[in-house]
Structure 1
Amino acid sequence: MVKQLLKAEVESLGGLQLKCSARGFEFMIDEPISSGGTNEAMNPLEALLCSLGACKMMVARFFYQSKHIDLKKMRVEVLGEIDSDRLKGKPNVKVGFSKIITNYYIEAENSPEEIQSFVTFIEKTCPVKDTIVNSPGMELHINP
Structure 2
Amino acid sequence: MTTDVRKPLNDIADATARAVADDPANALVGFRVSGTPEGTVGSAITVGKHTIRVDEPPALGGEATAPNPVEVYLASLIACQVVTYRFWAQRLGITIDDLAVQAEGDLDVRGFFGLDDHTRPGFQAVRVTVRISGPESAQRYNELQHAVDTHCPVLDLTTGHTPVDTTLITS
| TM-score relative to the length of structure 1 | 0.92
Instruction: Verify the 8 A CA contact 2:56 2:68 in the aligned structure 1.
Output: yes
Equivalent residue number for residue 100 of structure 1 = 126
Higher share in strand: 1
SS of 2:121 mapped into structure 1: coil
Equivalent residue number for residue 18 of structure 2 = none
Letter of the structure 2 residue corresponding to residue 63 of structure 1: W
Letter of the structure 2 residue corresponding to residue 138 of structure 1: V
Who wins on radius of gyration, i.e. which is larger? 2
Instruction: Verify the 8 A CA contact 2:88 2:147 in the aligned structure 1.
Output: no
1:9-48 counterparts in 2 under 5 A?
9-48=34-73
Instruction: Return the match for 2:79 from 51, 54, 61.
Output: 54
Paired residue total: 144
Using the TM superposition, give the Cα deviation of residue 48 of structure 1 relative to its aligned residue in structure 2, in angstroms.
0.7
Structure 2 portions without partners, runs of 5+ = 1-23
1:106-121 counterparts in 2 under 5 A?
106-121=132-147
Using the TM superposition, give the Cα deviation of residue 63 of structure 1 relative to its aligned residue in structure 2, in angstroms.
2.5
Equivalent residue number for residue 73 of structure 1 = 98
Structure 1 portions without partners, runs of 5+ = none
**Deviation per CA, 1:27-65, whole angstroms, max 9, x where unpaired?**
110001121101011100111111111111111122322
Greater Cα shift, 87-96 or 3-12: 87-96
Using the TM superposition, give the Cα deviation of residue 78 of structure 1 relative to its aligned residue in structure 2, in angstroms.
1.0
**Higher RCO structure, 1 or 2 (CA under 8 Å, sep 6+):** 2
Identity %: 21
Residue 133 in structure 1 maps to residue 159 in structure 2: yes
Higher share in helix: 2
Using the TM superposition, give the Cα deviation of residue 18 of structure 1 relative to its aligned residue in structure 2, in angstroms.
0.7
Question: For the residues of structure 2 that align with 1:35 and 1:65, how far apart are their CA atoms?
Answer: 42
User: Pairwise CA RMSD of aligned residues?
Assistant: 1.5
